[in-house]
Every structure is written in structure tokens, then in C-alpha cells.
Structure 1
Amino acid sequence: MQFQGKHSDLTEKIIGAFFDVYNEIGYGFSEKVCENALAIRLRKLGLVVQQQIPITVYFEGQVVGNYIADLLIDNLVMVELKAIRELTEEHEAQLLSYLKATEIEVGLLLNFGPKAEFERKVFDNERKGSLSWIKQSQ
């Protein structure tokens, strides 16, 4: 698999690790088990892995909501994991919400379902503009 664009080398490493872990543990484990296994594999590759990252959404400077993303890799790629039958548009929307609410531009949706699935999403910060749901650094 060859990706072009932002953080393509990193996303290829993450997806490769995802398939390695999937081939070892297969389908049927909880999302948390899959998250922990993938985090171990990614750290063995020398990547910086943060788990359960809080995301705060703002509107007109006030907090209007909170999310928890599964993984953040090298402070560049947000990863949302699922362990479900198949990915849906709602799952893609969830990942895009995380990207919209942060300065992270690249996200991966990885499913440890009966069939291994992944989606790569990019939301450029230029397109985000001065969106009110990202708290601006002061």
C-alpha cells in the first residue's frame, strides 16, 4: 500500500502494525485489548504512542463537549479503533470530528472486525481556518 501526502510514511507504518497485530490476535477481542496490543507493537517500532487522549470542543470560547480518542501517534496521526462487524459512515464522522476539534490533520480508522478494515482521513488545518471549536493558543 502506498499513500501520498501528509505523514504517508507514518500512516503506512501504523497500518502495517495494525495488520501484524490483527494477524496475531484475530477477531473477537474487545476494542481495549486491540488498542493495548497495537500500542505495544507501535512502541516496539520506536513510535511515540499516547492512549486515551482527551479532546475538548469549544464554541465561542466555551467548552461544549468532550471526546476521548484512542491513540495519538508521534503527535501527528490520530487513530480511532473499532472491534465491530464493519465500519460505517458514523465511525468516519467520529474520526473527522476528532480531526476538526484538534490541530491534528491525519487520522486512521482501524477495525479489528471479522475482516480487517482501515480508512485514512485528512483534514488540512488550512481548511479548518479559524474554527471556533479549536481553542486558540494564547
Structure 2
Amino acid sequence: MTENEISSKNIGAAIEVHKQLGPGLLESSYEKCLAFELIQQGLEIKTQVAVPVIYKGNKLEVGYRLDILVEEKVIIEVKTVSELAPIHKAQLLTYLKLTGIKLGLLINFNSIKLIDGVKRVANNL
């Protein structure tokens, strides 16, 4: 399955979660429900994946965790903010660079229409 196919399934699952719950809950609630939806679709996921920083050739565990990794190919960062800010995109892009993954999705569940809160971020290795 390609990154784009995975991305499409991820967005569909997020829309389903948003339809069921609406905006206004904590990130952790949406993350758990989205993980459930993705598993129901038969996708392999990992949640709260540690992302080490490589500094001068040394792998340092500094506490970074990405929300959901899907099929080892797409990172999903779940947000519940009034609007996505440039720092959110920068955070996801950093995770993409640190992991070598090409595609990520920022999903802001605190949107009236979820599709307005979805941003694709590409790592142009």
C-alpha cells in the first residue's frame, strides 16, 4: 500500500471519529478512537512511538513521541487546538526527518469540519 493510499484511509478514519465525537475533547481521546478505527480497517499501527534525536552520531532519548505510526509509512499527529500553527507543521516535519518517513498528517479534531483541520506534510528526503 502506498503512502497516499494509507493517507486516504487515515483521513477517512479521522472523519468517522469526528462524526461520532465532534470537537471539544482531549487529544488522547481522539488518538485512541482513531487508533481503533485504523485497526478496524486492518492497518498496522503503533501509538506513542519514541523518536530519538541523533546528535553528533549519538542516539539520544529525549522524550519525543509521535502519536500514531501507520504501516511504518505515515505519521499522524493528533491536535485539538483552535487552529493549526506553523510550529505544529515544524514538529511533524522534524519527526519525519528523524524517522526517515516521507509523509505525515496533522489532524486537528477541534475543527467544525474536520477536513479543514487536516494538513499533509511531506518530507522531501
Q: What TM-score comes out, normalization by structure 2 length?
A: 0.90
Segment of structure 1 superposing worse, 43-52 or 107-116: 107-116
The equivalences for 1:1-138 within 5 A come to 7-64=3-60, 65-115=62-112, 116=114, 117-124=117-124, 127=125
Structure 2 unaligned regions, length at least 5: none
Identity of aligned residues (%): 34
Letter in 2 for 1:72: L
Higher helix share: 2
Post-superposition CA distance 1:14-33 (Å, at most 9, x none): 00111111011001110000
Deviation at residue 66 of structure 1 after TM alignment: 3.9
Bigger Rg, structure 1 or 2: 1
Does the CA-based 8 Å contact 1:27-1:114 persist in structure 2? Answer: yes
Post-superposition CA distance 1:44-100 (Å, at most 9, x none): 000011100000011211245441000000111011000111111010001001001
Deviation at residue 9 of structure 1 after TM alignment: 1.0
Name the CA distance, whole Å, in 1 between partners of 2:64 and 2:118: 21
Letter in 2 for 1:112: F
Name the CA distance, whole Å, in 2 between partners of 1:73 and 1:62: 27
Structure 1 unaligned regions, length at least 5: 1-5, 128-138
Letter in 1 for 2:42: G
Residue 130 of structure 1: aligned partner: none
Q: CA RMSD in A?
A: 1.3
SS at match of 1:101: helix
Total equivalences in the alignment: 120
Tell me which stretches of 4 or more aligned residues in structure 1 moved more than 6 Å: none
Name the CA distance, whole Å, in 2 between partners of 1:19 and 1:27: 11
